[in-house]
Chain A
Amino acid sequence: KQEVTQIPAALSVPEGENLVLNCSFTDSAIYNLQWFRQDPGKGLTSLLLIQSSQREQTSGRLNASLDKSSGRSTLYIAASQPGDSATYLCAALGGYQKVTFGTGTKLQVIP
């Protein structure tokens, strides 16, 4: 059974710092890996989807990488801002019944 782990569970950084969030998964037989942002009491907002054939995806200040062989993905946030404060979730997409979410990293960016 797929297991997805996100470390650390919480992270606090000063504004302007570059940071990396980690996501690891146990089963490399996935279609894609997706990163989300969740604000308190809200739904999930899709940030990036990395296809299994890709190694990287970029959107603005965000860059996500995927290494299927090692079961790892990272989300890099450049020049962090207070508005980036949220919980970041990754999900391994292995098919309709094989979507496994991590428990998230709660990020706080301090002004």
Chain B
Amino acid sequence: DGGITQSPKYLFRKEGQNVTLSCEQNLNHDAMYWYRQDPGQGLRLIYYSQIVNDFQKGDIAEGYSVSREKKESFPLTVTSAQKNPTAFYLCASSIGTSGGETQYFGPGTRLLVL
């Protein structure tokens, strides 16, 4: 089945710790995205990547880092510099022609701070 997988489903972070969220897609999409969802707010864009080995900051990139070494994978690292990391993190992908195409989402990772 084609789709997007995210792991883990739940992640606990200790103060001062970096943690990495996994996102994999087998849709052969060029573009991938990371969003953060907080209660009562719309999804906010953290980073996006139009193509392998290239990525751009979104609206709230501070305290986060990404890599795009393979077309299928777009991991997100939440660094210790992110002071309020508790949220639901969603990864998405699209064909990537213009940035206006249908976006497909993974099941999400909920990050909690211990």
Contacts and interface: CB of A to CB of B under 8 A. Distances in A.
A103 interface: yes
B58 interface: yes
Interface of B: 4, 6, 31, 33, 35, 40-43, 45, 48, 50, 56, 58, 90, 92, 98-108, 110
A101 B31 CA distance: 18
Contact of A46 (B40, B45, B50, B103): B103
Contacts of B100: 30-32, 52, 93-95
Give chain A's interface residue range (CB within 8 Å of chain B). 20 to 34
Give the top 10 A-B pairs by smallest Cβ distance, nearest first.
Answer: A31-B100, A96-B99, A101-B42, A95-B99, A44-B105, A43-B105, A93-B100, A101-B43, A43-B107, A49-B102
Given A31-B98, A31-B100, A94-B100, A99 B105 contact: no
Given A44-B90, A96-B50, A97-B56, A34 B99 contact: no
Nearest to B96: A96
A99 B103 contact: yes
Nearest to B33: A99
A93 B31 CA distance: 14
Contact of A34 (B41, B103, B110): B103
Contacts of B105: 36, 43-46
